[in-house]
Amino acid sequence: MGSKDSKRLLSNSSLPVSLEDKKEKKLKGLVGTNSTSEKENGVKSSSVVFERFKEDPARIETMTVQELRATLRSVGVPAKGCKRDLVNALKCFAEKKIDGKTSLTVEEQASFSAENISVKCKDKDFSKEDCVEDVNTDLEVPGLPQHKGRVKKSATEGSINKFNTKRVTKKQNLSIRCDEGGMVLEAKRTVSSKIIHEVVNADKGVMPVIQTEPWTVLAHKKPQKGWIPYNPKTMRPPPLTRDTRYMKLMSWNVNGLRALLKLEGFSALQLSQREDFDVLCLQETKLQEKDVENIKQCLIDGYENSFWSCSVSKLGYSGTAIISRVKPLSVRYGLGISDHDSEGRLVMAEFDSFYLLSGYVPNSGDGLRRLSYRVTQWDPTLSNYMKELEKSKPVILTGDLNCAHEEIDIYNPAGNKRSAGFTDEERQSFGTNFLSRGFVDTFRRQHPGVVGYTYWGYRHGGRKNNRGWRLDYFLVSESIADRVYDSYILSDVGGSDHCPVGLVLKL
């Protein structure tokens, strides 16, 4: 929020009179009395305390929960949450105090706790200036996921509820800015200490863009010590200089290419401009051979080289492709074995310094009916094919390999022991046929101990809660593993139940 009022403090005096009366006893217990002498004494004592923190910052970590709460309350900061929340809140305030900034904004106070305290507004009848409210997560706001829960009463409740509203998911702190008539202008919510902007169209009463970053939150049923979430904004290296020769490869299971291209809000042009990839590999295109020519007419300028493999045994199923602005030396389709090549699961393009394979490994299916075929026939045959190619030049295999190899690669490992993609047989086959034969999992080598998913099921809010699987890979020959500059996940790209993955390879 950019207006002056967006920085208004959350103070008792800003409460509407009716609310202040109701909360009087509770607030007195939180902030103490209002006598001038006690305030002065509090300021002096807190100054001494923060001087100690300045000399010994680690002191905060050694404080008990009771000491943390008492210190926070003495300076008027909400003291809710577990010890970690209290420590973070006190550290944040201490830094402000030491820097000479003792005023806390709405956003800063909202991030101190997993719960917000109450509704606060400047005046009950609103001034001409914008009003900022700090609202409980149960408040109804346009365009957000529907959940049951009570709505906190506020002075603008009637105005906000004029929209076709949905409720905010729990465990999120939300602040709303409205105009003099109660019209919602902007909503901000804090998700795991990150403030996410959600812009509201005041004229139409809609919220067209919801930008959350759930992948920056560690989501795992059984996290190990040292694990951290993957964040492409902070973990990707800086772009290579123009005098460095490299190729940028991208791979994406699009879960139906025609449906993706029709999706409102998706732009292949914007994605290509943002990522500036040289080669795009696709899986699960679900195209028939008769669709390919029409799709080729829609290709973005500069990517004239495209190669498509479609399923002929089951129409509108599977399918892979390679789209490139660099013309390959040669192209092959399938593994050369009819039993494996009727579903359009593999395209290979030969470039100057490597072979690139876009692959869609068969899913073991419901009831694991194809598990035996996958681990005893497909995996070994693909592995042998790659080793044969490797005799000429290094090999890169990318695509949906339908296996979360390690427990770090799946949100709920214990609950999926017999689920397709995480059975012991598939994981062992992945290791035996690929990793043990000299092919490197580039993301895991670059990011050991990092939780990053590439697939989220549509049910149970998998993506918004970051409950996913890492099924999409770039595997490379050991001989070129050191030339991998970046192996990354584009978690923010929607349109499919998978997100793209990328590889930057120095030539």
Residues of each annotated binding site: 253, 284, 400, 402, 497-498
- Among the listed residues 155, 99, 114, 152, the one whose alpha carbon sits nearest the alpha carbon of residue 132: 155
Count CA within 13 A, CB hemisphere, residue 207.
25
List binding-site positions for Mg(2+): 253, 284, 400, 402, 497-498
447: Cβ contacts below 8 Å, ≥ 6 apart:
230, 235, 487
Burial 389-414 (b: 16+ CB within 10 A, else e): bbeeebbbbbbbbbbbbebbbbbbbe
Q: Helix (H, G, I), strand (E, B), or coil: what is residue 398?
A: strand
55 to 74, 96, 395: CA distances (angstroms): 20, 15, 56
What's 6's DSSP letter?
Answer: G
Half-sphere exposure of 20 (CA within 13 A, CB side): 13
How far CA 345 is from CA of 254, 297, 382, in Å, comes to: 14, 23, 11
Cβ proximity of 478 and 230 under 8 Å: no
Of 220, 340, 405, 498, catalytic = 498
Of the listed 230, 360, 453, 488, which one is catalytic?
360
Strands 355-360 and 346-350: antiparallel
CA atoms of 127 and 180, how far apart (whole Å): 6
CA distance 281 to 269: 16
Q: Is 498 a catalytic residue?
A: yes
CB 177 within 8 A of CB 131: yes
3-class DSSP assignment, residue 79: coil
Q: Kindly list the distances between the CA atom of residue 48 and the CA atoms of 40, 93, 102, in Å, as whole numbers in the listed order.
A: 13, 14, 15
Residues 6+ apart with CB under 8 A from 321: 281, 282, 285, 306, 307, 308, 309, 347, 358
**405 given a catalytic annotation:** no
As a whole number of angstroms, the distance between CA 457 and CA 165 comes to 25
C-alpha closest to that of 335 among 322, 323, 347: 347
C-alpha triplet 371, 395, 243: angle, nearest 5° = 140
Residues 217 and 133: their CA atoms lie apart, in Å, by: 26
**Sign of the C-alpha dihedral computed for residues 102, 107, 110 and 113 taken in this order:** negative
Q: Which of 400, 409, 441, 472 is catalytic?
A: 400
Specify whether 291 is catalytic: no
CB-based contacts of 17: which residues, under 8 Å, 6+ apart? 124
Residue 388 CA: distances (Å) to CA of 49, 220, 383, 437, 477:
69, 38, 9, 12, 12
Residues designated catalytic: 360, 400, 498
